[in-house]
Amino acid sequence: MSSSAPLAGLTLDELRDRLVALGEPPYRAKQIFQAVQQRGVLDPREMTTLPLELRERLAEEISPATELVEVQTSEDGTTKFLFGLHDGKRIESVLIPEDGRNTICVSSQVGCPIRCVFCASGVEGLIRNLDVAEIAEQVLRVRAHLGERPSHIVMMGMGEPLLNIENVIAAIRLWTDKDGLGFSPRRITVSTAGTPSKVDRLAESGLGVHIAISLHAPDDETRARLVPGSPGGRTRALVEAGARYARKTGRDVTVEYVLMAGENDAPEHADALAALTAGRHIHVNLIPLNPVSHRPDLKAPSGLAATGFLRRLQQQGVSATLRTQRGEDIAAACGQLALERALED
Ligand code: SAH
């Protein structure tokens, strides 16, 4: 831990060590931790429970990891938060109010190496991993902006969370800390296009979060075309890792499948997907493609075709639903972040 590491990335123990090193009493650590992690107060000058001198000292030494640059709200209430990072890079989070929930969609990397054909985040490849504070602060800043805690967290923003797994796990430990936001792991979803061994690593972490596997194809050939940045030949292994995760955690796993006309929406695709997922504590979430400007050739199937695909899965014993998209007018559908802004800059 560097002496100027942002507060939002520190555990209570790390913060205590840091304060002791500064010659401060250890009990201050909890006051600071709670201000940061519970209320999203990231500027030490605003930590009114601390003596003025300590506030100033901390403010001089420590800067937050992120700066809130812009907030944009779409007609359906979806709100996009744009953050600046210390190296000038940008990331985004989205807040999606729906069915009495307030879900925040969080980024884990700048850019993404997976390059799903339909996804804006992967167009420029991976730029870098986010550190713990950069991940954690997205939720804290949105919490401060809202005046209350979001109800759910999904790691479906920019990036592939399992390729930055240790920082993602550390951020989740902060969000679930009872002296922090006190999030239930059941209300946190890690979404991954996947590496089976990393899914196992997440199971071993004991966090008990929900996982979503971005499959998008039921066989290796189709998947290599639609998810080119993911190592090939692992479609089945990925679903099996998901099934192991479900067994180990006792929690159903979601498989996400973006439906694209003529790409992965044929009856044979539905049958192959059913063969992979039925009877394994896997729920399939079908998502009609939200059009993206970099691939105008890709189209969502008709409503009838999408419903037909859904029925075909259900008839084969698969638990499945068809999702509707949100935030399209500000390109803030979860998982579609940041490219447009990056191109404007
Ligand atoms: N790398 C992780 C996290 C990114 S979220 C992962 O792949 O899971 C990826 C999800 O965003 C996809 O599964 C899909 O649900 C959604 N998504 C991204 N672009 C989309 C688009 N153009 N239309 C519909 N859904 C999209």
Which atom belonging to ligand 1 lies closest to the Cα atom of 160?
1
Higher pLDDT, 236 or 4: 236
- CATH, domain 7-61, list 3.40.50.10240, 2.160.10.10, 1.10.150.530, 3.40.1390.10: 1.10.150.530
Q: In the structure, how many helices (H) and strands (E) does the chain have?
A: 11, 12
* pLDDT for 329 beyond 70: no
**In residues, how long is the chain?**
345
- Beta carbons of 98 and 326 less than 8 angstroms apart: yes
Q: Is the pLDDT of residue 74 over 50?
A: yes
State how far the alpha carbon of 142 is from the alpha carbons of 84, 95, 139, 147, in Å. 14, 8, 5, 8
- Mean pLDDT of all residues in 231-255: 94
Kindly report the backbone phi and psi dihedral angles of residue 190, in degrees, each rounded to the nearest multiple of 5, phi listed first.
-100, 120
- Does ligand 1 have an atom closer than 6 angstroms to the CB of 292? yes
pLDDT value of position 323: 84
Which residue is catalytic, options 105, 116, 119, 334? Answer: 334
Residue with tokens 């890709």: 298
User: 253-259 and 210-214: which strand pairing?
Assistant: parallel
The domain covering 66-342 belongs, at the CATH homologous superfamily level, to: Aldolase class I (3.20.20.70)
Q: Of these residues, 24, 92, 134, 263, which one is catalytic? A: 92
Q: Please state the domain extents for the chain.
A: 7-61, 66-342
What CA–CA distance (Å, rounded) separates 120 from 320? 26
**Among residues of the chain, what percentage have pLDDT more than 90?**
83
92 included as an active-site residue:
yes
pLDDT at 122: 85
Q: Binning pLDDT at 50, 70 and 90, where does residue 152 land? A: very high
Taking residues 236-264, what's their average pLDDT?
A: 96
Q: Is the CB of 211 under 6 A from ligand 1?
A: no
The H or E element spanning position 320 is strand 319-322
Average pLDDT, the chain: 92
Instruction: State yes or no: pLDDT of 2 exceeds 90.
Output: no
Closest atom of ligand 1 to 213 CA is 8
Q: Does ligand 1 lie within 6 Å of residue 118's CB atom?
A: yes
How large is the average pLDDT for residues 240-257? 95
Q: Which two tokens stand for residue 337?
A: 């972040």
**Ligand 1 mutation pick, 121, 214, 264, max ligand atoms within 8 A of CB:** 214
What is residue 189's predicted lDDT score, i.e. its pLDDT?
96
Q: Report the share of the chain in percent with pLDDT over 70.
A: 93
pLDDT surpassing 80 at residue 333: no
What pLDDT score does 7 carry? 96
3-state SS class at 148: coil
